[in-house]
Structure 1
């Protein structure tokens, strides 16, 4: 401490010494000035300066010593073991607030899980009357009424399907089953579901599958194809939808091409965003902005890359690029460990 104190005040100490030396030097040069008297005065002044220096050192370093001791004894990790009442109050407050936040987070997570389970149970319950309603619609003789009711039934069916898969997507990695999946029955099943809607709009399908099998999860791939095909039918009218698969650089490619209204260039970067519908037809209330978002989310754990090319007024092409066989190694390992 004394060393640091001297270093900090070395300029003042040097100034005093230089002044005293200057007085003695002047007395030595000037014979008229008594040297002995000045030497005595210099001695007294240096003695007074030394006493003053010691007193100031004691006063000025007392506070800093207490600061050093406080820093050495202060331990943040030992806050819970604080000795002073003030430190105990802080420790109890922090500990209590942390515990309260932990309990609230745990309770909120439990509530969300319960709400998810209740919603999933409700969706499954609603599917039963929907199935009965579909059978009733099939028995109708009025084709015009039958087509209208089928369209509305299909909308409700797809909205429920989106809700069901939206709740499952955060946990879909626990539900994956990677296997060789036949594309033809999967695609034709979705076409059959959309058949009445397509007939109403005068839409047909051209299917050309060079690659008939892909390694993926059949259930989730069906959901992705369902969203893309529903989107294609929704925005097309009296035109064919082309579906083809082929091999490119050892990767299976599936394309779904429609000749509908297309997507404007300003909307293309945002079509996979949650809740985004359109900037060109913003007043359209039928769109939810969830179909493509959910398709993209479901494709990520499957390592399926979805790309889109579109021209406004000419149509849209969605391209699904499936991963190579070796890319599924870590998915299989993670699924088995889970």
Structure 2
């Protein structure tokens, strides 16, 4: 703090000593030209006197700034709360320049805070609209599904059966899109809706596959679960983990070769300090140049040009949720050979749960300050 204080006043210190030395030099020259006797003790006295006045001025200036500087240097930009920083702007400024600077900071802070409040209000309204719209769409979607099933039962013609199957396929695609939209909208509240608990991974896999069994049947694909033991327990949030696995299964279905009786293999492997879930298909694969970007939002790559229904948000959602849960999600693929997605579970999930709760409590506390 003192070092920075002196560094800021270094030009003034240099100027004072420079002017003192110039004054002494002029005095020496004048005395020399007049033939007088030089008194070096007088010059030393002049230099000491200038130093005394300089030190006195710096000391007075430092005392004026000390309280303000002490609080300023106590602030850590990476860990100090905004409330503590705001307290500094309401202190009495030691100079008019500092006062002007603090006034500008306060004005910007108030303006930024108002913008944040407006942004939060707009975001919540948008989220409410999305949630209501999704829930309203679920009713006609369910009606379409029921009518299609009834139509298939009463239809005797294969052409009509195919017609109703196509309707159900499009309805399922619509359902997946609604679920994706709803989960994306809820990501902002992840920490408020997160609970780490023991999850039976094999059972969860079977439930997800059963939900999408009609997609497997329609596309002539066969799900296969391979595991080392009869029961595999991982720590995660069952609801969010279901979303991740479901998205990976849907991707495997969509990008597999349909009608060939290919398998989609879900392999659970227990390792020393972790459990890994491999979801493997033998579909169209992903080009090598697209692999580094498959988890980016809205990125569809070459496969997205072949399948126009691709949104580029599925893997982004899966990776985002996996990271929030403390899991690792990686992907490996070879063009026209298939894709393997690996979801790894470790004890890190429990640590993430603790951090999530602390962040949630901190966010609630910071909101109450305004």
Q: What residue in structure 2 maps to residue 259 of structure 1? A: 282
1:299 paired to 2:312 = no
Structure 1 segment 176-325 matched on structure 2, within 5 A:
176-211=194-229, 212-215=231-234, 216-237=236-257, 238=260, 239-279=262-302, 282=305, 284-324=307-347
User: Deviations for 1:38-72, whole angstroms, at most 9, x for unmatched residues?
Assistant: xxx5349x9xxxxxxx9xxxxxxxxxx99999998
C-alpha contact (below 8 Å) 1:275/1:288 kept by paired residues: yes
Between the aligned partners of 2:104 and 2:274, the Cα distance in structure 1 is 59
Q: What residue in structure 2 maps to residue 33 of structure 1? A: none
Q: What residue in structure 2 maps to residue 16 of structure 1? A: 29
Between the aligned partners of 1:89 and 1:321, the Cα distance in structure 2 is 54
Closer, same or farther in 2 for the Cα pair 1:283/1:96, shift >3 Å? same
C-alpha contact (below 8 Å) 2:216/2:223 kept by paired residues: no
**Alpha-carbon shift at residue 264 of structure 1 (Å):** 1.2
Structure 1 segment 142-161 matched on structure 2, within 5 A:
142-161=160-179
C-alpha contact (below 8 Å) 1:178/1:332 kept by paired residues: yes
1:104 paired to 2:115 = yes
1:138 paired to 2:149 = yes
**Alpha-carbon shift at residue 291 of structure 1 (Å):** 0.3
Unmatched segments (≥5 aa) in structure 2: 1-12, 39-45, 47-55, 70-87, 153-159, 362-370
Q: What residue in structure 2 maps to residue 30 of structure 1? A: none
**Alpha-carbon shift at residue 91 of structure 1 (Å):** 6.7
Between the aligned partners of 1:125 and 1:147, the Cα distance in structure 2 is 24
- Computing the radius of gyration over CA atoms, which structure comes out larger, 1 or 2? 1
The answer to which of 114-123 and 180-189 deviates more is: 180-189
**Alpha-carbon shift at residue 306 of structure 1 (Å):** 1.1
Closer, same or farther in 2 for the Cα pair 1:91/1:240, shift >3 Å? closer
Between the aligned partners of 2:98 and 2:321, the Cα distance in structure 1 is 51
C-alpha contact (below 8 Å) 1:147/1:197 kept by paired residues: no
C-alpha contact (below 8 Å) 2:89/2:103 kept by paired residues: no
Between the aligned partners of 1:12 and 1:166, the Cα distance in structure 2 is 77
User: Deviations for 1:100-154, whole angstroms, at most 9, x for unmatched residues?
Assistant: 3322221221221222122112212221221222111111223201221111111
Between the aligned partners of 2:213 and 2:180, the Cα distance in structure 1 is 19
C-alpha contact (below 8 Å) 2:222/2:263 kept by paired residues: yes
C-alpha contact (below 8 Å) 1:180/1:213 kept by paired residues: no
Q: TM-score, normalised by structure 2?
A: 0.68
Between the two proteins, the alignment pairs up a number of residues equal to 303
User: Deviations for 1:207-237, whole angstroms, at most 9, x for unmatched residues?
Assistant: 2233433232111111111111111111112
Between the aligned partners of 1:336 and 1:89, the Cα distance in structure 2 is 40
1:124 paired to 2:130 = no
Structure 1 segment 4-83 matched on structure 2, within 5 A:
4=17, 7-9=20-22, 12-13=25-26, 16=29, 20=32, 42-43=35-36
